[in-house]
Amino acid sequence: MALPVFPSLKITSDALVPEGAFAEAQAAFLKPDPALVAELNALLREKNAGIVAHFYMDPELQGVLSACDWPHIHVSDSLAMADRAIAMAEQGVRTVAVLGVDFMSENVRAMLDASGYEHIPVYRVAAEPIGCSLAESAEAAAYGAYLAEAARTPRSLHVIYINTSLVTKAKAHGLVPTITCTSSNVVQTVLQAAAQIPDVHIWFGPDTYMGDNLAHMFARLAEMPDEQIRQLHSAHDQATVRSLLPRFHYFEQGTCIVHHMFGKEVVDLVREHYADVFVTAHLEVPGEMFELGLEAQRHGDGVVGSTSNILAFVLGKVDEAIARGEGSTLRFILGTEAGMITPIVRQVQEKLRDYASEGGREITAQIIFPVASEAVAQDAQSGLGVVPGVAGGEGCSTAGGCATCPYMKMNSLRALLSLLERVDVEPGSNLVPFEPRKYVEQIRGRTAADLGGEPILHMRGFQRTGALPQALVDDVLSRVAPAAS
């Protein structure tokens, strides 16, 4: 069996050389089949249909989408997917096709309805459910029991992963003040809540794997010097993080099959096959990758820190190699989001170019992406088209990548073309199985779409201002626990 190899990018003074699965993904993205591009373009024009797609679609599909010149195609995280669907409706599309898992198409449907576009049909590309094991685990009775416990505990804030249905968010918010989070803002959300709400209890869910990793990470953080903790959140130090530990709870029966498969597996592969490399890990990378970075840092072979710490570490090692004056290849594991590659490429190449122009010997910096091979994100700035790894937002962390999710894979190009061919030709009832679930039920006198949208608005408020919205804080402080039965 061939050795598992992570995708990587070699940076030299005058070239960028993608290796492994990355090179294949790039080829699939940058050179899509022209016949398929023409077929999709023509169908979209004929049906006047818009497409909103999640950015964990595979590179072949993304490549075809990005090569079409039809203006109503958008690839992003699920929050922006709904916004763009509304913009497309405003611009006059007659239909919206959603490429993603079911809670994403449900969001698009709910947001279009809320904006007065109930008449625009929204379709998924499969007649069967395009589930999400994680979203489903938050619909189980056990999650209700978890929330009931939170509701009985004074000063509770429920931090729910964005990968859940709107109705789950609505039911949860009806019980416990709730804010959504993504993998890229969960650490800040928890730390900010702890800084802003005295004695708050945080109830994270439903991803058990991520919850467990977060609990470990906060425990490790509590041992780090105050200065390093302040880099992550200026209001915290060892004492405040320690006091948070017993008030951080997570649901223990929620599984994203991809997080589950890839987290430990990826780190085991790093340990086995990349023992001699430098390891960099962002402070917000949960779990095993964080531990790996800490271990390397202790030996001077790595760094755990912010993006600028990571960049400074990589540049420092390049400087050391230049000072030694020997030709060499420096290898780095990049334990953070894919977008980090752009400043690394730019600044490393600048140093190598200067060194080469002075007659220096060939130095190569190889950046290794510890992700499942199919996890790629679009990156316009690096000039590469796609980069290995994950982009910000919901879905998976550096532990894997939603591109590897069997549910996401139900969104094939063939399925999309076949759906579009049927739009406007077959009676509407034939396409009913392709429609997303609707949210008509009322919870606490509000529609599920309206109440379930509020935790998302709270998160947006936090992202915009850096503080939790006062209405949410007041809600946490004022909710009275239900009387015990």
Secondary structure of residue 138 in the 3-state scheme: coil
399 binds ligand SF4 per the rule CB under 6 A: no
162 binds ligand SF4 per the rule CB under 6 A: no
Nearest residue (CB) to ligand SF4, 18 versus 395: 395
Closest distance to ligand SF4 from the beta carbon of 406 (Å): 7
Closest distance to ligand SF4 from the beta carbon of 397 (Å): 10
- Full DSSP string of 61-98: HHHHHHH---S-EEEE-HHHHHHHHHHHHHTT-SEEEE
Q: Select from 62, 133, 137, 336 the one that contacts ligand SF4 (CB under 6 A).
A: 133
Q: Select from 32, 302, 385, 395 the one that contacts ligand SF4 (CB under 6 A).
A: 395
Nearest residue (CB) to ligand SF4, 279 versus 405: 405
Secondary structure of residue 20 in the 3-state scheme: coil
Nearest residue (CB) to ligand SF4, 163 versus 297: 163
Any idea what the Cα angle at residue 220 is, between residues 215 and 222, rounded to 5°?
95
Residue 121 and residue 142 in contact, taking contact as beta carbons nearer than 8 Å: no
Closest CA to 62 of 96, 39, 28: 28
Q: Select from 9, 73, 88, 101 the one that contacts ligand SF4 (CB under 6 A).
A: 101
258 binds ligand SF4 per the rule CB under 6 A: yes
Residue 65 and residue 51 in contact, taking contact as beta carbons nearer than 8 Å: yes
C-alpha span between 465 and 28 (Å, rounded): 39
Q: At which residue do the structure tokens 């729910």 appear?
A: 160
132 binds ligand SF4 per the rule CB under 6 A: yes
Nearest residue (CB) to ligand SF4, 134 versus 365: 134
Determine if residue 359 is left, alpha or beta; phi over 0 gives left, psi from -120 to 50 gives alpha, anything else beta. Answer: left
Give the contact letters, 293-332, x = binds to ligand SF4 (CB under 6 A), - = no: ----------------------------------------
Instruction: With CB under 6 A as the rule, give the number of residues binding ligand SF4.
Output: 14
For residues 283-319, one letter each, b for 16 or more C-beta atoms within 10 angstroms of the residue's C-beta and e for the rest, the string is: bbbbbbbbbbbbebbeeeebbbbbbebbbebbbebbe
DSSP run (H or E) holding 303: strand 302-305
Closest distance to ligand SF4 from the beta carbon of 8 (Å): 23
Of 406-445, which residues contact ligand SF4 (CB under 6 A)? 407-408
- Full DSSP string of 395-447: S--TT--GGG-TTGGG--HHHHHHHHHHTTTS-GGGGGGGSPPP---EETTEE
Q: Considering only 268-276, 284-292, 345-353, 401-409, which stretch makes contact with ligand SF4 by CB under 6 A?
A: 401-409
Closest distance to ligand SF4 from the beta carbon of 403 (Å): 9
Nearest residue (CB) to ligand SF4, 124 versus 201: 124
388: CB partners within 8 A, 6+ apart: 6, 7, 8, 9, 21, 22, 25, 338, 369, 371, 373, 375, 376, 377
Of 228-257, which residues contact ligand SF4 (CB under 6 A)? 256-257
Nearest residue (CB) to ligand SF4, 14 versus 128: 128
Closest distance to ligand SF4 from the beta carbon of 163 (Å): 4
365 binds ligand SF4 per the rule CB under 6 A: no
Q: Select from 89, 93, 122, 396 the one that contacts ligand SF4 (CB under 6 A).
A: 396
Question: Would you mind telling me the total number of residues written for the chain in this entry?
Answer: 485
377 binds ligand SF4 per the rule CB under 6 A: no
Q: Which residues pair with 99 in a beta bridge?
A: 53
Chain residues binding ligand SF4 by CB under 6 A are 101, 132-134, 163, 256-258, 395-396, 402, 405, 407-408
